[in-house]
Amino acid sequence: MTKRLFLCAGLAAAMLFTSCNAINDGVSDIGSGVSDVTSDLSSGMSDVESDLSSDLSDGRSDMSSDMSRDESRYDNSSDISREESSKDAPASSVDISSLDNTKQGWGQGVQLDEKNRPLASLSFQEKYGKYDAWFIGEEEPVIYLTFDCGYENGYTPMILDTLLEKDVPAVFFCVSDYVERQPELVQRMIDEGHAIGNHSDTHPCMPEQSVERCEQEIMNLHNKMQEDFGYTMTLFRAPAGEFSERTLAQTQQLGYKSVFWSYAYADWDPNNQIGTDKALEKVTKALHPGAIYLLHAVSPDNAAILGDFIDYARDQGYTFALFQ
């Protein structure tokens, strides 16, 4: 504010006036948005770089591309400081079309608490648990094994053999293509007490789909499993770990829990395995209470070390349970 005082001589009183200049040409930009903690959560895992397109119709190679989208999210957690919304209303009573559909990616990151639990998993669990979304289990020495199945690479029978021998249950998240191509393996999973999870019909990015299409992606496979196997699915894993508040609420309204993970690594590419020694070291070092492990059934390393991992975890006082 610029003040100028002019005194006019010869007048009986002084006249005071103020002229104002513009303080600024405009308001400076105070921020380009909420800062993303992704870089902090992803700094330690440089091996997850692929983000390929998804196409299940051609079988193995195309589904491998789909799976790479999942792993590209392992170390790229979305902004965990964003304000919570619709906190007091249950999803069943919410108009999902009114909810935020901003796409978020998921990865457990590398920042851990004193119990070796990923901080991102804890933050997201607190924020999105109201939608029956799970990024980590309860604080108990329990491990939940989950496997994503996009195509069959010959290792699932070996995995099932090990789980049967060790008396450990698991969730197998399948897409429609896998269910259609591998009905014998799907039936074996059911017969041996495992859960079949819904990984969508065609593996798209859910937040990029309409509300109607999201329902189709879940219910097409849901209905197929009921018709072909008499099995009712209740667990959903979002393709590539991509979600929004809207898709979480819609998944819950359709009668599903959204199951993410608190540990995963880039095991999806059979041509880029790290060897059984390194693989075993990775998965054992990640042990933490309530751990939800995501592994891929196409990995020869993880198929080979599964029994040793189960034995090691049990020696450390952990038990294995079926996520349900």
Residues known to be catalytic: 148, 296
> 196 φ, ψ to 5°?
-100, 120
Rounded Cα distance between 112 and 152, Å, is: 34
Task: Provide the 10 A C-beta neighbour count for residue 265.
Answer: 23
Q: Are 56 and 175 in contact (CB under 8 A)?
A: yes
**Dist CA 135 CA 264 (whole Å):** 12
Rg (CA), the chain: 26
* 143 touches 168 (CB < 8 A): no
The identity of residue 107, as a single letter, is: G
